[in-house]
Amino acid sequence: MALYQAWLAYDGTAFEGLQRQAQGRTVQGVVEEALRTLGWQEASVRYAGRTDAGVHALGQVFAFALAWRHGPEALRRALNARLPADVRVWAVREAPPDFHPRYAARGRRYVYWLWCSPERHPFMRRYTWQVWPCPRAEALHQAARALVGRHDFAALGTPPAGPRGSTVRTVYRAAWFQVAPGLWAFDVAADAFLYRMVRRMVAAQVAMAQERLAMDAWLHALRTPPERPWAVLAPPQGLFLAQVAYHDHEVAAWQQPWSVARFRSWWWQLWRLGG
């Protein structure tokens, strides 16, 4: 019996989220169903972070214990042969016995995609938030810069349950990249995220860049957190869980400035699932 760490990508369109539920198709449910056919007997797999219905992932991490004698690569192929087409395991390795993908994580990185056009696009609709008029570029950059650092983000999310729940988080990176005409990516990494924090970040920044929210109100919310988080959310389909960091060098890389070319290269490599 060994503990395995697996990296997972999925298209969240047809899922009711990651976490197993009594009703509805979930990512955890289909992964556990595939594992059962290989002799897996645990009550539940462990995962790095929950994603909502419609949210995608390229770098989700699962862990599970399994008696398997054929090596990690054969296990990866066996799982993919049993998983549906909208889920793929792109790497597997043996993990230390005490590894937990959530509690061992040093941070998480998300990318949110924005498509600026007055015309509907049949393919962009699954993986971007279409907005019009197009947000002003300088306003997006200014709003993102204000996020970097350690802040109380009560305006953008609710604290986790428990007596030590806090809305204070450290954002290592927050940057917008114009990847192509009309196509923008918001790249954000932090030590941890509050529930729906990234979707609130994006909604607020777009509102500012479309001059529907004053920059002063944004900065005030970061300095003087309100009692309740903002209600407005960007839709789920533009959001991707891109990476979970387990090493200091990964977090250090997040804190370095990136060019558009470097972001494109990194995203393309991730999109190819490590290939």
Return d(Cα 274, Cα 155) in angstroms, integer: 36
* Strands of 182-238, DSSP E: 183-190
Return d(Cα 157, Cα 160) in angstroms, integer: 9
Return d(Cα 229, Cα 2) in angstroms, integer: 42
What single letter denotes the amino acid at residue 170?
A: T
Nearest Cα to Cα of residue 86 among 127, 43, 130: 127
* Burial of residue 261, with CB atoms counted within 10 A of its CB: 0-12 exposed, 13-18 middle, 19 or more buried: exposed
* Burial of residue 195, with CB atoms counted within 10 A of its CB: 0-12 exposed, 13-18 middle, 19 or more buried: middle
Beta-carbon contacts of residue 71 (< 8 Å; ≥ 6 apart): none
Q: Are 50 and 18 in contact (CB under 8 A)?
A: yes
Q: What is the CA radius of gyration of the chain?
A: 19
**Residue in 52, 86, 152, 191 annotated catalytic:** 52
- Does residue 98 carry a catalytic annotation? no
State the CB neighbour count (10 A cutoff) for residue 218. Answer: 20
Full DSSP string of 230-251: -S----GGGEEEEEEE-SHHHH
Tell me the catalytic residues.
Answer: 52
